[in-house]
Amino acid sequence: MTGSDLPSQLPELLPRLWSFALRISGDRHDAEDLVQRACLRGLERAHQLQPGTSTLSWMFAIVHSTWIDELRARSRRNRSSTEWDDGMLETVADPAARTPEENAINNQIVNAVGQLPEAQRVVMLLVAVEGLSYSEAAEVLEVPIGTVMSRLSRARQTIGTLFGVRDNQKTKVAVASKDPVS
Amino acid sequence: MKMDSVLLMAYVDGELSAEECQEIEKEIAVSPDTAELVAQLRASQLPYAQAFAQQKLPPVPDSLTEAVAAMARAHAQRTTTPGANDAAVTRDAFTAPSAPIRSRLRIAPQWLAVAFVAGVVCYGIGTRFLPGFGATPNSSPTATLAAANPEEPGWVAAAAGYQQLYSRETVAQVPVNAELTAQTVDEIQHQDGLNVRIPDLSQAGLTFKRVQRLRFKDKPLVQIVYLPQQGAPIALCVMKEGKPDTTIAERRVESMNVVTWRHADLSYALIGKPEGTDLPALAKRISDNDVQTLFGDAGISMLAAN
């Protein structure tokens, strides 16, 4: 893969860039602008894309840094999950899912990740959701691989604590959770 | 402690050797804290990908799909003729862009969706910024330009939106390739049928950087980019519109200043940031033909001659 292939690859990468942008920005208008801007930046820098580099992580890196720049420009980096478009945090019932509880758990997983501190949330999105390796995530975020791992372990401790509690109070949580079909 | 939790995560995820696992299991046996941490990490082994796959996300907007496809096409076209338009940015391979974005992302939400894509419905920018354009919507085949609003000069909005994305860095490093520019101008004049010349605006402090053949609704749109001594680049955009001449008019399109006029069936839009260059004065000089030509005058190229 070299930069000259980027134009032909971008359209097929688009759905994943779109969902990543939606998830990090939490706003569909921001996400659309973010992806456009990132694609433009990517194309302008296509010649810097080294053979052997994953185009997807390279584009994730540009989406992410574009978003960080944007947040800096807006001087409001402490976006909390309460500002999110609630509709985006819901999951739809999967016909393959066996039980309503499974849907409820999916909802809870998405919500739990959404409530992590920003740096941990992005690492979880890259590694657990997008399936990047630790080193790819480190390249995307421009941090050492050790930082990725420690953020990930902290994120997972938080989520583990949450779900440990859930396991103890299964019935209660299942009743309290949002109806995923609504 | 931090390294411990990373190590324990690797243990839980089954990434350690049997020997390392034994070490950790010994530790778990004697340390309730470690045991608790391992329990938390085990509880965090969840079907994340599956859960997020079920997340109800809005689909990729058509406008985005089209914009990216258009960008990719434009880029592929450009790179088939390497040289003049190749931005010489020197950054490390994986270094993310560091230039801060000066304005909100949302400055040009549909720029490419409107631009360069045939058949896309125009967005709601009214005639207020371009009186005269399209004032006789039924008089010309170019009325097809405005799918949603017959009076809409969509290409000016598109070009202004496009220009909004240009920063100084976008073109500062672009070397001017005289040969390729002359060739592009020749193609504009002979293939696109637009009698466009590249004015020399150096007296106004503007350095010519590049000319691009773009398309708006399948019609040629010429973009000539100049770099002033300070501030963002300025573009002179030209499209063929078989309508009566108009004198210059200044308008604001989003964050850009746009000065338009029409002469000899060519519509011009001079686009720049509000601060800096006096665009109306410059537009007057161009429209009065009070400038020299860099490229496009019967093969005479001042740059090529230098």
Kindly report, residue by residue over B157-205, the tens digit of the pLDDT. Answer: 888 888 887 788 778 777 788 888 888 888 888 888 888 889 989 888 8
The size of the A-B interface in CB pairs under 8 A is: 206
Instruction: At B95, list the tokens.
Output: 């270094």
**pLDDT one-digit tens code per residue, B272-286:** 988 888 898 899 888
Closest Cβ–Cβ partner in A23, A65, A160 for B44: A160
pLDDT of residue A178: 41
Instruction: At A26, list the tokens.
Output: 């939490």
Closest Cβ–Cβ partner in B39, B95, B105 for A164: B39
User: What band does A123 get if pLDDT is binned at 50, 70 and 90?
Assistant: very high
The closest of B31, B3, B52, B246 to A92, measured between CA atoms, is B52
**Helix and strand numbers, DSSP H then E, in chain B:** 11, 8
pLDDT of residue B251: 85
Looking at the predicted structure, is the pLDDT value of residue A88 above 60? no
Chain A residue with CA closest to B85: the answer is A44
DSSP characters for B62-98? HHHHHHHHHHHHHHHHHHTS-STT-------TTPPP-
pLDDT of residue B75: 80
Angstroms from B263 CA to nearest CA on chain A: 33
**Using N-to-C axis directions, what is the helix angle for B32-43 and A145-168, rounded to 10°?**
90
What percent of chain B stands above pLDDT 70?
71
SS3 annotation, A162-173: HHHHHHHCHHHH
By three-state DSSP, how is residue A104 classified? Answer: helix
**pLDDT one-digit tens code per residue, B80-133:** 544 444 443 333 334 444 434 334 444 333 333 333 333 333 333 333 333 333
Chain A residues in contact with B86 (beta carbon < 8 A) = 47
Whether B92 and chain A come into contact, CB under 8 Å, resolves to yes
Question: pTM for the whole thing?
Answer: 0.50
Contact B73 A92 (CB under 8 A): no
Beta-carbon count within 10 A of A117 CB: 12
- Torsion angle in degrees (nearest 10) through CA of B90, B96, B99, B104: 140
Whether B80 and chain A come into contact, CB under 8 Å, resolves to no
Contact B44 A157 (CB under 8 A): yes
Instruction: Compute the distance between CA of residue A136 and CA of residue A125 in angstroms, rounded to an integer.
Output: 12
Beta-bridge partners for B19: none
Predicted-complex ipTM score: 0.78
pLDDT of residue B79: 61
Average pLDDT over residues A3-25: 89
- The alpha helices in chain A, defined as continuous H runs, are 6-25, 28-44, 55-74, 86-89, 100-114, 118-124, 134-141, 145-168, 170-176
What percent of chain A stands above pLDDT 70?
75
Q: Which residue has the higher pLDDT, B180 or A138?
A: A138
Closest Cβ–Cβ partner in A36, A37, A48 for B93: A48
Closest Cβ–Cβ partner in A48, A124, A160 for B43: A160
Instruction: Find out whether B279 and B250 touch, Cβ atoms under 8 Å.
Output: yes
The average confidence (pLDDT) of chain A is 80
At position A5, the amino acid (one-letter code) is D
Instruction: Find out whether A48 and B91 touch, Cβ atoms under 8 Å.
Output: yes
User: What band does B148 get if pLDDT is binned at 50, 70 and 90?
Assistant: very low
What percent of chain B stands above pLDDT 90?
24
Angstroms from A117 CA to nearest CA on chain B: 16
**pLDDT one-digit tens code per residue, B38-84:** 999 999 999 999 899 888 889 999 999 999 988 888 887 766 544 44
Instruction: Compute the distance between CA of residue A108 and CA of residue A147 in angstroms, rounded to an integer.
Output: 26
Contact B6 A69 (CB under 8 A): no
